[in-house]
Structure 1
Amino acid sequence: MAVRAVRGAVQVDVDERDEVLAATRELVTEVVRLNELDLEDFISVIFTSTADLVSEFPAVAARELGMGDVPLMCARELEIEGSMPRVIRLMAHVETSRTRAQVRHVYLRGAVALRRDIAQ
């Protein structure tokens, strides 16, 4: 088994708690599904969100999905002029037998525009 990083992002329509949680659950669920992971495969997850998202911590959604014993961290994304608004990003460190080239990164909703080259 190797340790790999899986990237992903999702854009939310509005900064409302339910929307942030739903979008984060969708993102984490797709990372798990597309990379054929179990919760035990996760080493840690770093979430970032843009400054316009203040209604809830994305890590709350991950805990709701059963990641209570996985180290989770939330941070603020850099505020770069012209950057996409209302975006939650993640970088998950996982144990997997996949090669780096086989890891599937997940970009959902409007966030697909961030990385069209690797979005699933």
Structure 2
Amino acid sequence: MIRGVRGAITVSADQPEEVLQETRRLVLEIARENKIEPDHVASVIISTTTDISSAFPAKAVRTIDEWNFVPVMCTHEMDVPGSMPLCIRVMMHVNTELSQKEIHHVYLNEATKLRPDLTAKSQVSST
């Protein structure tokens, strides 16, 4: 069965090195938390807030060992007033036997504020 695994992270500035580093960190943490191998991934969609334009976050995924064949696409989030700035979001479509409630969605840095309900679940399950 294919499940969606979500995650988000913020960067302190729209700098190419930081965008790529933090995207990589997020993807690897999602994979680690959910025991995801690249061959299990059908596709990855990465969105950024419109204040991030210095680098394609998909490039970070393509540089991870064995992830170079995973289809990855970037897009921008809707520009909603008051939304969290400098945020990178990931939706990973994964072949898994896990149920929806067993999936660990990962929120890092300031993005923990987006889904405190899921962040608390992840912190409880990883301790």
| TM-score, length-scaled by structure 1 | 0.97
Q: Secondary structure at the match of 1:117?
A: helix
Partner of 2:15: 16
Alignment of 1:32-71 (within 5 A): 32-65=31-64, 66-71=66-71
Runs of 5+ consecutive residues of structure 1 not aligned to the other structure: none
Q: How far is 1:68 from its partner?
A: 1.6
Q: Hey, what's the Cα distance between the residues in 2 that align with 1:61 and 1:79?
A: 23
Q: CA deviation at 1:70?
A: 1.1
Task: Give me the TM-score of the superposition, normalised by structure 2.
Answer: 0.91
Amino acid at match of 1:51: T
Shift of 1:97: 1.4
Determine helix, strand or coil for the equivalent of 1:70: coil
Larger relative helix fraction: 2
| Count of aligned residue pairs for this structure pair | 119
TM-fit CA distance, 1:6: 0.2
Matched residue, 1:104:
104
- Distance in 2 (CA, whole Å) between partners of 1:53 and 1:100 is 30
Quick check: which one's strand share is greater?
Answer: 1
SS of alignment partner, residue 75 of structure 1: strand
Q: In the alignment, is residue 77 of structure 1 matched against residue 77 of structure 2?
A: yes
Tell me by how many angstroms 1:71 deviates. 1.1
Could you tell me the percent identity over the aligned residues? 43
Alignment gaps of 5+ in structure 2: 123-127
- Superposed CA deviations along residues 3-57 of structure 1, whole A, max 9, x for unmatched, are 1000000000111000001100110000000001111110000000001101101
Aligned to 2:125: none
